Amino acid sequence: MIRIYALKLKESELSSYELSSLLNYVSSTKKEKILKYRNKLDAMRSLYADLLIRHLISKSLSIKNKDIELVVNKYGKPYLKKHNLNFNLSHSGFWIVCVIGSNSIGIDVEEVKDINLNIAKVFSKEEYDFLRLKKEKKERISTFFKLWTLKESVVKALGKGLSIPLDSFSIDSIDKEPKVKFMGLVDAEYTLRNIDFDDGYELSICTIGNDEFGGLYYMDIHEVVNSCKM
């Protein structure tokens, strides 16, 4: 069963917590990484993403935060050292999202912004041509971010990050039921979903194998923090 959990950061709530105190509830490696951020929002997103998954792991496996060992593979994908739980994280703007499923899974959320669409040349030729067919600029930008999140969710599900070139596969039927095409052939092993989310954001997930979608749940920041303190 696939479940997505979303946490929205608000300036008014963030000010009620001290960054230094909350860093006590993540690993020393994560703490060092967070302290290197120059932008406060970047630091807070990274911190709360870690706290969110710790909260969800604690609830899912009935273990305390202090007993959770999060590590990353050589491509940067996080996983649990001593337990088997498939999850993935993403954050953009003021949103942090986490997905948990039965199979290997990836998630990506992106804030839709006005960008130079030449960046889409990193996509496959098929995708780039599809994007250029969109007549209105707003529609092209929205389609770009939908494609981007779908493709990112695929490489994150594989756990190899951008070591997999974005032009090495295509997303087919993006406006209906998205499918992954490797070398021009649809691979039925991958299940893609573009999720109806907040205005101004695109959210997509990919799971390797079939897994029933169990919904999107919005989290309370105070519950997450209090859970990690236990």
Q: Does 230 have pLDDT greater than 60?
A: yes
Assign 3-class secondary structure to 63-125. CCHHHCCEEECCCCCEEECCCCCEEEEEEECCEEEEEEECCCEEEEEEECCCCCHHHHHHCCH
- Residue (of 124, 116, 132) closest to 150 by Cα position: 124
Q: pLDDT-based confidence at 108, cuts 50/70/90?
A: very high
Show Cβ contacts of residue 225 under 8 Å, excluding neighbours closer than 6 positions.
Answer: 17, 22, 51
Buried b (16+ CB within 10 A) or exposed e, 125-162: eebbebbeeeeeeeeebebbbbbbbbbbbbbbbbbeee
CA–CA distances in Å: residue 137 to residues 81, 130, 151: 45, 13, 21
- Residue (of 99, 214, 116, 230) closest to 157 by Cα position: 99
Give 143 or 81, the one with higher predicted confidence: 143
pLDDT of residue 184: 76
pLDDT of residue 72: 87
Q: How far apart are CA 2 and CA 8, in angstroms?
A: 20
pLDDT of residue 175: 81
pLDDT of residue 15: 63
pTM over 0.85: yes
Q: Does 198 have pLDDT greater than 70?
A: yes
Average confidence (pLDDT) over 203-217? 93
Q: 156: which 2 tokens? A: 């994150």
pLDDT of residue 12: 66
Mind listing the domains of the chain with CATH numbers? 1-102+214-230 (3.90.470.20), 103-210 (3.90.470.20)
HSE-up of 137 (CA within 13 Å, CB side)?
6
Q: How far apart are CA 92 and CA 72, in angstroms?
A: 20
Q: How far apart are CA 49 and CA 13, in angstroms?
A: 15
Average confidence (pLDDT) over 89-103? 95
pLDDT of residue 202: 97
Quick: pLDDT tens for 2-34.
999 999 998 766 665 677 789 999 999 999 999
Quick: pLDDT tens for 40-87.
888 889 999 999 999 999 999 999 999 999 988 888 888 898 888 999
Q: Is the Cβ–Cβ distance between 83 and 126 less than 8 Å?
A: no
